[in-house]
Amino acid sequence: NAGVTQTPKFRVLKTGQSMTLLCAQDMNHEYMYWYRQDPGMGLRLIHYSVGEGTTAKGEVPDGYNVSRLKKQNFLLGLESAAPSQTSVYFCASSQLPSAPTGTDTQYFGPGTRLTVL
Amino acid sequence: QQPVQSPQAVILREGEDAVINCSSSKALYSVHWYRQKHGEAPVFLMILLKGGEQKGHEKISASFNEKKQQSSLYLTASQLSYSGTYFCGTEKLVGARQLTFGSGTQLTVLP
């Protein structure tokens, strides 16, 4: 199993350009997440999905869009990149909450380092 | 609201112990602990549940104090491999499916 993979690993954009980050998981997980990580800020949730065809906003959704057309893939789009979106982006996935705990582990991909000039 | 982790950084010698705290101003259902090495993805360590008992993983264990809404991560007899940044992620409701992460505690273990 590859687990959670992310494409690309690195990218440099100019202000105003657009791009899509791809996250794929082969663990048949229902839930998928996109986070951004900035120095000293920890991980902040951008958007998440609780199943194929569903998406929801997280803590910092502005400037991003997402789609979950297939269960195994979760796409993060930047329509018009800004320097404030320079960050490391992590994708994660998890199973349905399992009894008796009602929660489950999130598994993270290796990250995409994005620089917007 | 982001949980508060303390300390922000700690430096140890191999074999020494450390405690990392994660506090929330809101009632929590669960606390998830992760470790991240530089340039890598966060790796899951353990989950602490409201009303649950102390968990353990190798020489790393954790507890959850419901009265204080605080979780503590205990690293005993630390090894060089324990170096990294430790994050707590908090979940307010059962099934909320959203974790709010603290800003991390950077742990450095020296030989």
Of residues A18 and A105, the one with the higher pLDDT is A18
pLDDT at A98: 66
Quote the pLDDT of residue B68: 87
In a domain, A83, yes or no: yes
Q: Do A58 and B98 touch (CB under 8 A)?
A: yes
- Tell me, what's the pLDDT at A27? 93
Instruction: Name chain B contacts of A108, Cβ cutoff 8 Å.
Output: 34, 41-43
Among residues B92, B91, B75, the alpha carbon closest in space to that of B83 is found at B75
**Closest Cβ opposite residue A42 in set B44, B49, B103:** B103
Q: Are B44 and B104 in contact (CB under 8 A)?
A: no
- The string of pLDDT tens digits covering residues B67-87 is 889 999 999 999 999 999 999
A64 falls within a domain:
yes
CATH number at residue A36: 2.60.40.10
Tens digit of pLDDT for each residue in B19-63? 999 999 988 888 999 999 998 999 999 888 877 666 666 688 998
Domain count, chain A: 1
User: What is the mean predicted confidence (pLDDT) over B91-97?
Assistant: 74
Residue of A nearest to B8 (CA): A40
Site from B99, B100, B105 to mutate, A interface, most A CB atoms within 10 angstroms: B99
State which residues form the domain around A20.
4-96
Across A37-65, average pLDDT? 92
pLDDT of residue A105: 85
**Domain spans in chain B, listed from the N-terminal domain onward:** 4-110
List C-alpha distances in Å: B91 to A102, A106, B3, B41, B102. 11, 12, 10, 20, 12
Class of domain B4-110: mainly beta
Instruction: Say if A112 falls within a structural domain.
Output: no
Cβ neighbors of A5 (< 8 A, separation 6 or more) are A23, A24, A25, A109, A110
Is any Cβ of chain A less than 8 angstroms from the Cβ of B104? Answer: yes
pLDDT at A78 over 80: yes
Which residues on B lie below 8 Å from A103 (Cβ)?
Answer: 29-30, 32, 47, 49, 91, 94-95
In a domain, A102, yes or no: no
**Contact by Cβ (8 Å): A36, A55:** no
pLDDT of A52 strictly over 80 = yes
